[in-house]
Amino acid sequence: MAETKKSKGALNAEQVAEYLRDNPNFFKEYAELLESMTPPEVNHGGNVVDLQHHMLGKLQSGLQNMKSKYEGLILSSRDNMSTLHSVHEAVLSIMRAHELEQLLEVVAIDLPAVFNVDVVRLGIESEAAEFYENKFGEQNASGISFLEKGLIDAIMTKEKSVLLIADTEKQFLYGLDQVFSDCADIVESAVILRMRLPSSQRNVVLAFGVRIKNHFHPGQGSEMLSFLAQVIEDKLDECLNDSGIAALI
């Protein structure tokens, strides 16, 4: 074994050249090595520029950029597939909920596990927010809370329906501490989805929070999460009306 290592360490340029001459198809099998090789620059004399050298260098740079974009596309596709699977599972759980209590159990118990997040909050704007005190802790961080009227527009502005926050420390938002009341200090990254109940036109948000910065970020696709919000919007409206609670809040 020691002799083999010594032989490898003593490999010189002539041996490499000889091996390549004896194996002319080497770069067909290992074409990716060409991307990292420096093409020879021919000295034409004077101020004549070796265009071939620069064109090959530019081609290598283009290949590297293409490779980076391709790898990014693969990662993005994997994330989208993961989100698609999670939303599909969440929607099935929501559709099985026939009462308000069952729906709130899905929000507080199922959604954090399905999306692998630390906090899920369903926030409803209501006059009751003035009299009702939200009580949460790290053991029961997810659930429903009442928010003061107008808070959702203040957080998101009227134009936005989805808000992706990479770092809650850098992107301070008024009202975020109310959405994640009692647990705002553990939320480092978040996504907030605006909803509006069809019957009462009451503003609602579905918020996901995690302890890791940049878990959510503005570059992410949010179409599937928006679809999830629409499903919860309709189901929540239905359950609130069926329970008679809609008139009380």
Structural domains of the chain, with CATH: 89-247 (3.30.450.40)
| Residue 164: closest CA among 184, 195, 189, 181 | 189
Stretch among 8-22, 85-99, 137-151 having the lowest mean pLDDT: 8-22
- In 143-212, where does DSSP find H-type helix? 151-156, 176-179
pLDDT at 37: 62
- Give 32's pLDDT tier (boundaries 50, 70, 90): low
* Radius of gyration for the alpha carbons in the chain, expressed in angstroms and rounded: 29
- Tell me the pTM: 0.66
pLDDT number for residue 166: 93
| Residue 153 falls in which region: left (phi positive, over 0), alpha (psi -120 to 50) or beta | alpha
Q: What is the percentage of the chain residues whose pLDDT exceeds 90?
A: 30
Q: 119 pairs with which residues across the strands?
A: 209
**What pLDDT, in 10s, does the model give residues 71-112?**
444 444 455 556 778 888 888 999 999 899 999 999 999 999
Name which residue leads in pLDDT, 31 or 187.
187
Beta-strand relationship, 203-210 and 119-125: antiparallel
- CA neighbor of 237 nearest in space, from 116, 45, 103, 47: 103
- CA 186 to CA 183: how far, in whole Å? 6
More confident: 39 or 192 = 192
From the centroid of its chain, how far is CA 29? 37
Per DSSP, the three-state class of 191 is strand
Angle between helices 223-243 and 51-96 (to 10 degrees): 10
Give the tokens for residue 182: 């009692």
pLDDT digits (tens, 9 = 90+) for 147-196: 999 999 888 877 788 999 999 998 888 889 999 988 889 999 999 999 99
